[in-house]
Each structure stands twice: as C-alpha cells, then as structure tokens.
Amino acid sequence: MRCIGAMKVLDTPHGPWHLVDCADKLDWRGRLPGASVYDRCAHTLRIARAKRVPIDDLLALALPASWTVNSRAASPVFQRWLQPAAREAWTDLVGALAGGVGPWLGFDTAHRDRVSFLVGALVAVGGDLCSLSKVLALLVPEGVPLMDDGALWMLLDAVPRPATADAPTGGVGHLLPMLDAFATASLTHEDALIALARGHTAAVLDAPQVLDRLMWFDSWGWRHTAAPRGPQWREVRDASRRGVVRLPDVPEGTPKDLVLDLATLPDGPWLDAAREALERA
C-alpha cells in the first residue's frame, strides 16, 4: 500500500485499489450499532490484556461479542471453545500472535506452523475461519483482521467475491497468507493509518484495525449505504484505478452489484466527481 498525500493505494490482486475519504468511511461504520459495540469491546479487552487478565478469562467475553459483527458461530460452538483443551489452544494462539503485525513477519516457519495448527484444531472443534477470526480480532486487535470472504477476496483473491455475508467459504489454508498480506499492508502504510486512528472519535482503534475497517467498507460494507436520492457510495473503475467513492448522484436503476466502469458511462456531474476522486491518486 502506498501513500500519496491523504490517499492510500492498496496493492491487491485486482490492481491498485484507491482508499479514498477514509475518515468518512470510518465514521459511517462507527455509527453502525454492531460495529460500534464491537470496537468498544475490542478496546476493553485490550485494556484487560494490558492489566494481565488471563486470556482464559477474557475468552468467555470475546465469544458473544463476536456476534456484534454477525459471526455465524452458534452458541454450542462457543461452549465447545470453552472446554479445557480448546481454552488452552486459544491462550497459546493469542500468545503466538501477541505484539501485532511487526513481530508476525519476523516469525520462523515453526512458529507460523504452530499458529496454523492451533487455528485448525479450533476450527475442527466447530465454527469456521471467519467466525474464529471475529473472536481472535477482539483478543489480538493489533494484528488480526476479520477474515470474511470480502477481505479474503480483496487482499488475496482467494475466494470468489461474495454476494452475501451469510455463507463464508474461507478455510484454514487462507490464514497464513492473509496474516502476511495484512501485516505487510499495515506496516507499509502505518503512518497514515495511525493518523486516521487518532482522528477517529467513535472508538479507540489500532492502525491495523483502521485498515481492516476500510477493507470491510470497500469490499462489502458500502453496499449498505444506499440512499434513494442524493450522494451515494459506489465502486468505480477508470482504466487501472479502482475504488469506492461518493458520487453526488447516480442514474436511477444503476445496479449496486456491478463495478461502474467510467469509460462506458454517460457524462454527468457524478461521473466528473468519480473521475476527480480517482485522479487525486
């Protein structure tokens, strides 16, 4: 990810992805009931970790908190994850990931294999990678993103772009590549992410959390911002540039499940605004 002024350009398998109007996107997400509760829970758990409350005790709080961002794990899965062997695996996993994106990229193969093994063992007990990541990102917010299919698609192109958030398909094999790509992107653009975190007032976020929230918005979340009239967020493409920008108006009937290729669309104020947003990069 490269920074050009206030603009962030995320290198993805789909080409350069321009993250524009980041503060506004974070603010919009921060007003969602579930997302706002999730972010506050993550910060409370961060404080508890700093006070050395055992992960074994924090896990029981993190499990239901993951429901606030639509985890598909059912309560029987949580009950199994609270059994002694699973609790030990969770504690080892959090310890192996503690410290965030910086230490992660320096770990050797044995350490990485241990993380993959622990996640595989927990998924085998119940749930899936997506639901597990929504718990883990509460306990290690400085290093773990939410690994829903939208994020896996955006950063890895490892799964088809989802049409729904209700049926995640990501597997344990996506874990290490996702942690690598996320850590690299977070560190590459750390200064800008820290600045965004400092300016965000809805909750306390780490720099990697900012990147995670922006990825959610651009890969999936913007579709929930529809308004019948007035400015709208839409995904647009102009030559090699791609991103989600806010347009002053969109022609009625324009589908939301398609990337708007600006080269094929009629002239108008919203088209000029889209091109201007991308040209700032």
Residues 36 and 167 in one domain: yes
Residues 195 and 238 in one domain: no
Whole-angstrom Cα distance, residue 177 to residue 156? 8
pLDDT over 70 for what percent of the chain?
95
Residues 219 and 271 in one domain: no
Q: For 107-160, what is each residue's pLDDT tens digit? A: 999 999 999 999 999 999 988 999 999 999 999 999 999 999 999 999 999 999
Residues 90 and 108 in one domain: yes
Q: Are strands 241-247 and 2-4 parallel, antiparallel or unpaired?
A: unpaired
Residues 217 and 234 in one domain: no
- Looking up tokens 């990147």, which residue turns up? 211
Q: For 177-197, what is each residue's pLDDT tens digit? A: 999 999 999 999 999 999 999
Question: For residue 261, which phi and psi values (nearest 5 degrees)?
Answer: -80, 110
The partner residues of 245 in beta bridges, in order of sequence, read 234
Residues 237 and 195 in one domain: no
Residues 182 and 265 in one domain: no
- Better-predicted residue by pLDDT, 256 or 34: 34
Whole-angstrom Cα distance, residue 179 to residue 281? 27
- The reported pLDDT for the residue numbered 40 is 97
Domain boundary residue, one of 206, 223, 240: 223
230 falls in which pLDDT band (50, 70, 90)?
Answer: low
Name the helix (H) or strand (E) containing 184.
Answer: helix 175-188
- The reported pLDDT for the residue numbered 184 is 97
Using alpha carbons only, give the angle 238, 240, 244 rounded to the nearest 5 degrees: 55
Number of domains in the chain: 2
Residues 15 and 149 in one domain: yes
Whole-angstrom Cα distance, residue 238 to residue 279? 9
Domain boundary residue, one of 205, 223, 241: 223
Residues 198 and 254 in one domain: no
- The reported pLDDT for the residue numbered 255 is 73
Which two tokens mark 47? Answer: 């404080």
Domain boundary residue, one of 223, 250, 268: 223
Average pLDDT over residues 84-89: 97
Residues 165 and 275 in one domain: no
Residues 147 and 269 in one domain: no
Distance of CA 79 to the CA centre of its chain: 26
- Residue 193 carries which side chain, given as an amino acid letter? L
Range of the domain at 248: 227-279
Residues 160 and 244 in one domain: no
